[in-house]
Structure 1
Amino acid sequence: MRHLSKLIFLTGIILFLFTFSIAVYFSQRMNNYGETSVNSKIPNYKYHFVLVPEEVDNDYWRLVEKGAQEAARKNHVLLEYVGPKQGNIDEHLKTLEKAAASNVDGIITQSLNEEEFPPLIDSLIDQGIPVVTIDTDSENSKRISYIGTNNYYSGFIAGTKLIEDTKGEVNVAIITGNFHSSNQSLRVDGFKEAVKHEERIKIVAIEESKISQIRAAEKAYQILNEYPQVNAFFGTSALDGIGIAQIVQQLNRDYIYIIGFDTLKETIEYIKDGVINATVSQQPFEMGYQSVELMVQLLEGKKVPEINYTDTLIIQKEDLSSDKQIGGNIND
């Protein structure tokens, strides 16, 4: 009996030490990566993936993470969500390098430009680590597959919607998240292509928000001071439309047409109130979910499509009470 009690006691100590070591291990990884969340409760996981977003605290990317974590639980995958707290290309690249050094089974990441990311992605592939791009592709790299929005098309349908909803002379200002991000540039290019043959529509200013709602509001205020003729805005990242709407509402410029991007809670509220006229709806949850599923299929030897576009739709007030698929918001 005494021997049995001693055995139970020793077993308890071993389990405690094991649990403690796991906690220390992930704590160290979190210190190495900076901003990190991990579904470490997955027992006997089959694979270990790292998802690296542009910035971890962005509501849009939290939706991507939410979808990825759900797919990870379903597939017994240990998923780390790691990256810069605020958009920083150098930190993003370093995070990818650290993930590779940890011998993960797969990396899911956004590609922010076509200069620095393809060489690093190629290096990861050459090391035997599969890479799937999400939200923004890296066409000139060896990445295995892309899952996300057709960003050029999303800008194009935004421009088409502006043409459809307006009459007379329209002076448009564009506020974009980052001049150096491929996805933002493609959205601007698509928008320009849509309106270029409409002589009544002129793009008078393009400013950068640095993926910041406050900066988007500052830029909107600056534009309206410098270009009082502006009567339309296009915001190409999730926080741009919200920042624009704040200023337009404060200045009582209710005649200004606003088309934003994504379906965060604040964006939907502004649409309900008639401040934002329309928004481009992506599917961030679905992107995250499918990226994990696709990586699992890849590791199981299945053939996966190189390009996987998720749905992109224009959402307006009348759509909020319909069956039209909306990307959701962080509070869902």
Structure 2
Amino acid sequence: MKRRFFSVLMCAVLVLAAMTGCSKDKGSNDANTNQAVADSGKSDSAAGKSDSAAGKENKKIIVISKSYQNQFYQAAFKGAQDAAVDLGVTVTTNGPDAESNVSQQVEQVAAAINQKPDAIVLAACDPSALEEVLTKAKEANIPVIGFDSGVPGDTTGAVVATAATNNENAGANVADNLVGDDGFQKAVLKGTEEKPVVIGVLAQDATSGSIKQRVDGFVNEMVLKLETSEALKGCVDVSGQEKWTKPSANKPKVKIVVTVPPTTSQADIQSAANSIFMTDNLIAVFGANQDGVNGIISATNDATDLDKAKGKYKDIYVMGFDAGKTQKDAVRNGQFFGSVTQDPYQMGYQAIKLAVDAVSGKAVSDVDTGSKWYNKDNIDNEDIAVLLYD
């Protein structure tokens, strides 16, 4: 009887212990779940820009620029890395030694595909050269997000969206600010059929989508705005490169001449800039990207020849694109009439957002990251200064 009593007692103790253990486990699981939800909420709050952060940990995105060391792309990489932190993904960056090194970028994209990332973010040096590797990305179900110039004309279907400046609008922004200046209006109206004035455009190359679009925007807007004047109607001629040739209806009083150097080396760009400044009756020059601007600055003795008081080219209006220390100095000193800036940080940030959304199966579309005109009067304004990288 005593043995039976102890057996019953031991069973009761074991049941009670099991119930107590279950109660503790349940409490522990609830605590972990609450912590996970709190952590997820914290991640979403930190992003503040997308609802796709939750559950995207450990996703891998590879970013490939057109030129790894270029300051513009370094700023874009910073935006991409910040987005990676906010959205809980892993981002790695790469790019060729120079924009002209097309084969190196093709190899980098192929290597990226072999790593089987969740997405690739890409600014193509030469879109046509990437068709084969982008087809492989499509076959591997790796979405590609373009940034900056993106991959214009992609026929593979791999590129699902692009985070970039609307470069045509940005180029037009330069033309609008130039035409709106009273001094420029007086200078351009001095053009005659016998002695037309010249507006030079330095385009680093004719294959980059972003540069082509900027030149398109500048040239088209300049022709449109100038020909609203009765004195210049049908008298604005565009030449220099077949891609942009547009003969005037009448004998030209204004010539817009587009120059493209034989390579994208800084020596060739500077040589092209030198040729532009030797042109008779030159009244304005537009450098369509940072490297073009650097060529202009080198061709004008570090911009001292553009000094408005006593410079050799003091009467020539010079406009740039992007930023960088030397360009900012030239703008701040009044040597440049002004420049248009993109927002490279937002290009990188928004591209990662698009990549995360694409990976999660959400519909994505192109994002315009905008452009702003800056000159010596507003360069230090808070809303402009934040966009001007060194």
Correspondence for 1:68 among 60, 68, 80: 80
Q: Does the CA-based 8 Å contact 2:260-2:272 persist in structure 1?
A: yes
Amino acid at match of 1:162: L
Residue in structure 2 matched with residue 37 of structure 1 by the alignment:
none
Provide the residue aligned with 2:243 in structure 1: none
| Secondary structure of 1:49 counterpart | strand
1:247 corresponds to: 299
Shift in alpha-carbon separation, 1:61–1:210, aligned structure 2, 3 A = farther
Give the number of equivalent residue pairs.
286
Correspondence list, 1:1-332, <5 A: 46-87=58-99, 88-137=101-150, 138-141=152-155, 142=157, 143-165=159-181, 166-167=184-185, 168-169=187-188, 170-197=197-224, 198=226, 199=232, 201-208=254-261, 210-225=263-278, 227-248=279-300, 249-251=303-305, 252-304=312-364, 306-326=365-385, 328-331=387-390
| C-alpha spacing 1:281/1:212, structure 2 compared with 1 (3 Å) | farther
Tell me, in whole angstroms, the C-alpha distance in 2 between the residues paired with 1:178 and 1:243: 13
CA shift for structure 1 position 45: 5.4
Letter matched to residue 156 of structure 1: A
For 2:142, the aligned partner's letter is I
Cα pair distance change 1:172/1:274, threshold 3 Å:
same
Query: In the alignment, is the contact (CA less than 8 A) between 1:280 and 1:314 conserved in 2?
Result: yes
The change in CA–CA distance for 1:187 and 1:72 in structure 2 (over 3 A counts) is same
* Alpha carbons of structure 1 residues 295 and 144: separation in structure 2 relative to 1, 3 Å: same
Question: What amino acid is the match of 1:307?
Answer: D
Q: 1:323 to 1:330 in 2, by over 3 A?
A: closer
Q: Secondary structure at the match of 1:57?
A: coil
Task: Please identify, of 150-159 and 62-71, the stretch whose mean Cα deviation from structure 2 is larger.
Answer: 150-159
Q: Who is 2:20 aligned against?
A: none
> TM-score normalized by structure 1?
0.79
2:363 counterpart SS class: coil
| Residues 190 and 98 (structure 1), Cα distance of their counterparts in 2 relative to 1, 3 Å cut | same
Contact in 2 for aligned 1:241/1:276 (Cα 8 Å): no
Alpha-carbon deviation of 1:234? 0.6
- Residue 318 of structure 1 deviates from its aligned partner by 1.1
Q: Offset of 1:181 from its aligned partner?
A: 1.1
Q: Which residue of 2 aligns with 1:6?
A: none
Local SS of the residue matching 2:79: helix
**What do the CA deviations read for 1:65-121 (whole angstroms, capped 9, x no partner)?**
111111112223222211211121121111111100111111000133453334532
Distance 1:329 1:321 in 2: 10
Structure 1 position 270, deviation (Å): 0.7
Question: Are the aligned partners of 1:287 and 1:310 in contact in 2 as well (CA < 8 Å)?
Answer: yes
Inter-CA distance 154–75: structure 2 relative to 1 (3 Å threshold): same
List structure 1 segments (4+ residues) > 6 angstroms apart after TM superposition.
none
Offset from partner CA, 1:217-255 (integer Å, 9 cap, x none)? 322112223x13222111111122233134333542121
- Compute the displacement of 1:327 (Å): 5.6
Judged with a 3 Å threshold, the aligned counterparts in structure 2 of structure 1 residues 205 and 103 are, in CA distance, closer, same or farther, namely: closer
- The amino acid across from 1:134 in the alignment is F
- Alignment partners' CA distance in 2, 1:58 and 1:261: 14
User: How many angstroms apart in 2 are the aligned matches of 1:228 and 1:290?
Assistant: 44
Deviation (angstroms), 1:209 = 7.8
Counterpart AA for 1:50: I
Shift, 1:212, TM fit: 4.8
Structure 1's 204 and 145: CA in aligned 2 closer, same or farther, altered over 3 A?
Answer: closer
Distance 1:215 1:133 in 2: 28
Cα shift at 1:205: 4.1
Structure 1: state its 5+ residue gaps: 1-43
Q: Aligned residues: percent identity?
A: 22
Q: 1:320 to 1:194 in 2, by over 3 A?
A: same
8 Å contact from structure 2 (residues 341, 388) kept in 1: no
Contact between 2:323 and 2:389, CA under 8 Å: does it hold in 1? no
